[in-house]
Amino acid sequence: MTMSSFARFGAAATIALIAMGAGVSTATADDPPKAEIDAMRKALAKYEDPYVAVRDLYLSTVGCVHYDGSTMEGHLNYAKGAMGVHFVNLTVQGPPDPLKPNVLIYEPVSKGKLKLVAAEWLVPLAVAKERPVLLGQPFQGPMEGHEPLIPQGFHHYDLHAWLFKDNPLGMFSPTNPDVSCDNADFSLMEMPTKLVTP
């Protein structure tokens, strides 16, 4: 699968995120029961094939996101590492469902090949009555959108779960130092994301 085959979806996903209105460190809550994690992996295993994800309306934002560990006051300061390539499904809305994340994350493992590594749940600040919690894990944020892939004005909470690749920082850390963007056609080093007031 080539990264360029998904390029046409990036702009549409970003525009739709605007229309949708739609953390600093590793989460510290207790790990969820193994049965829940196993159920999530089973439900999402079909998306190890990125073409299946696209058919189910997960659209690639193309760029492989990584951070250099820079810190800034008033921002979410992500540990050095990568997230990967985000595939966003704008049809998944409502309360966070552990079996239906609205984002899948892939690592470019070789030129033109993607490996599913994580899932992410985004909750727009505009619809959140309080900080969301999933699997006992509080979401990070609220924060601005991650430019250039997500508009700055998209204020949201989010939570990552590294279901398909071990993360030495913890399953729910936003970044993973063992994920690389070296094989990505488009690599984006992002700066810390500004926190916003709920």
In the chain, where the domains are located: 3-189
DSSP category for residue 71? -
58-88 pLDDT, tens digit each: 999 999 999 999 999 999 999 999 999 999 9
pLDDT for the residue numbered 58: 98
Order of all β-strands in the sheet with 140-143:
140-143, 156-161, 113-124, 103-110, 81-88, 59-67, 187-189
C-alpha separations of 20 from 104, 120, 125, 144, 170 in Å: 18, 17, 11, 14, 30
Distance CA 167, CA 146 (A): 22
pLDDT for the residue numbered 148: 83
Report whether 177 contacts 169 (CB < 8 A): yes
For 19, residues 6+ apart whose C-beta sits below 8 A from its C-beta are: none
- Which phi-psi region, left, alpha or beta, contains residue 170 (left: φ > 0; alpha: ψ -120 to 50)? left
pTM score, whole prediction: 0.85
pLDDT for the residue numbered 149: 83
